[in-house]
Amino acid sequence: MTRDPRAASTSPRDFLGIESLAPGELETLLDRAEALLPAAMGQVRSEPKLAGRVVANIFFEDSTRTRVSFEIAAKRLGAEVVNLGASGSSASKGETLVDTARNIEAMGVDAIVVRTSISGGAALVAQHVDRPVINAGDGRHEHPTQALLDALALRLRLGSLAGKRIAIVGDIANSRVARSAAHAFVRLGAEVIAVGPPSLIPVGFDAIAKGPGKVSITHDIDGILGDLDAIMTLRIQLERAAGGGIAPDYRAGFGLTSERRAKLKPGTPILHPGPVNRGVEIDDAVADDVADSVILKQVSCGVAARMAVLLRAIAD
């Protein structure tokens, strides 16, 4: 039975944002994802807890890592996967996201993964279908599974995030990754420092997250590098009309160059959610550094994190 859209209700099995997680759920998901990491990487065979189930990936925004990661995660757990993009669907004929999701639901899928340029789009779908909905990124709002994998990659390097200082550098105004990461890191007790040009940090971002940690803002990246425990760089999202004339000068002001990397404490992990604009927000030598760059580890953690979320949605 389809949920009454007037009720604007969602299911506890939906995974729509880090901000909406009940207390303790974040740690539980991270623990589960860490336990699933060997299976996610194919080092051991995972128990096919989703055998006979079908997961629909509705991706109305371009994606490589997130879409493929969800597909691999579902298949590791024994599920079948259907992938649908805007260009190959009735969306190109004017069908709405909600109507697409309701039609996919009517075909008997067990969960729907949604990626859309509409902020709040995943929650809108969740209000109209009676299947678990997982947010794979909605506009400028949230990207909750990215925050899970980022937190997991940091936990593997740093242990507890309580008391750690983590910088998020770049186009924060347009970044759903920054929002979800801030919610996750603060809930885990970290101090998040948002860094970037004033035009790319929204007013009030330092009040976005609630928890034992906190968020602060600075426009001086060079003044904080030596005090950080981790740093995440973000790309300028030109597809969301970000930055104006900032892009050509961005590297000089905020790029994680080799010179800036040398100011970090030894062993400071370096993250980037991808895709990477090399030579803009991060230099090649920094992105590819085998000692401190955890960019590829983030990708690996993504499969495990999405396995944990799929199990929560379908199997629990």
Note the pLDDT tens digit of each residue in 239-288.
555 545 556 688 999 999 999 999 999 999 999 999 998 989 999 999 99
Mean pLDDT, range 14-38, rounded to an integer: 94
Is 60 exceeded by the pLDDT of residue 30?
A: yes
Q: What is the pLDDT of residue 3?
A: 47
pLDDT attached to residue 2? 45
Q: Specify the pLDDT at position 304.
A: 98
- Quote the tokens at residue 94: 């004017």
Q: Where are the domains of the chain?
A: 5-142+302-315, 144-298
Give the number of other Cβ atoms within 10 Å of residue 171's Cβ: 27
Look at residue 216 and tell me whether its pLDDT is greater than 60.
Answer: yes
Mean pLDDT of the chain: 92
pLDDT at 312: 97
- Indicate the pLDDT class of residue 23, thresholds 50, 70 and 90: confident
Q: What is the CATH number of domain 144-298?
A: 3.40.50.1370
What's the predicted TM-score (pTM) here?
A: 0.93
Nearest to 50 by CA among 78, 89, 15, 85: 78
**CA dist., res. 67 & res. 73, Å (int):** 10
The residue with greater pLDDT, 152 or 243, is: 152
Contact 116, 139 (CB under 8 A): yes
pLDDT in tens, 102-134: 999 999 999 999 999 999 999 999 999 999 999
Q: Cα dihedral sign for 66, 72, 74, 80? A: positive
Three-state secondary structure along the chain? CCCCHHHCCCCCCCECCCCCCCCCHHHHHHHHHHHHHHHHCCCCCCCCCCCCCEEEEEECCCCCHHHHHHHHHHHHCCCEEEEEEHHHCHHHHCCCHHHHHHHHHHCCCCEEEEEECCCCHHHHHHCCCCCCEEEEEECCCECHHHHHHHHHHHHHHHCCCCCCEEEEECCCCCCHHHHHHHHHHHHCCCEEEEECCHHHCCCCHHHCCCCCCEEEEECCHHHCHHHCCEEEECCCCHHHCCCCCCHHHHHHHHCECHHHHCCCCCCCCEECCCCCCECCCECHHHHCCCCCECHHHHHHHHHHHHHHHHHHHHHC
Instruction: Give the orientation angle of helix 25-40 with respect to helix 295-310, to 10 degrees.
Output: 110
- Residue at token pair 């990207």: 143
Tell me what pLDDT residue 8 has: 46
| pLDDT greater than 50 at residue 229 | yes
Distance CA(107)–CA(44), nearest Å, equals 33
Calpha distance 99→174 (Å, rounded): 27
Task: Centre a 10 Å sphere on the Cβ of residue 280 and count the other Cβ atoms it contains.
Answer: 18
- At residue 62 the predicted structure's pLDDT band, cuts being 50, 70 and 90, is confident
pLDDT over threshold 70, residue 91: no
**CATH number 3.40.50.1370 is the correct assignment for the domain at 5-142+302-315:** yes
60-98 exposure pattern, b = at least 16 Cβ within 10 A, e = fewer: bbebebbbebbbbbbbbbebebeebbbeebebeeeeebe
Mean pLDDT of 44-53: 96
* Selection from 215, 183, 208 nearest residue 25 by Cα: 183
- b or e along 292-313 (b: 16 or more beta carbons within 10 Å of the residue's beta carbon)? bbbbebbbbbbbbbbbbbbbbb
Share of the chain above pLDDT 70, in %: 91
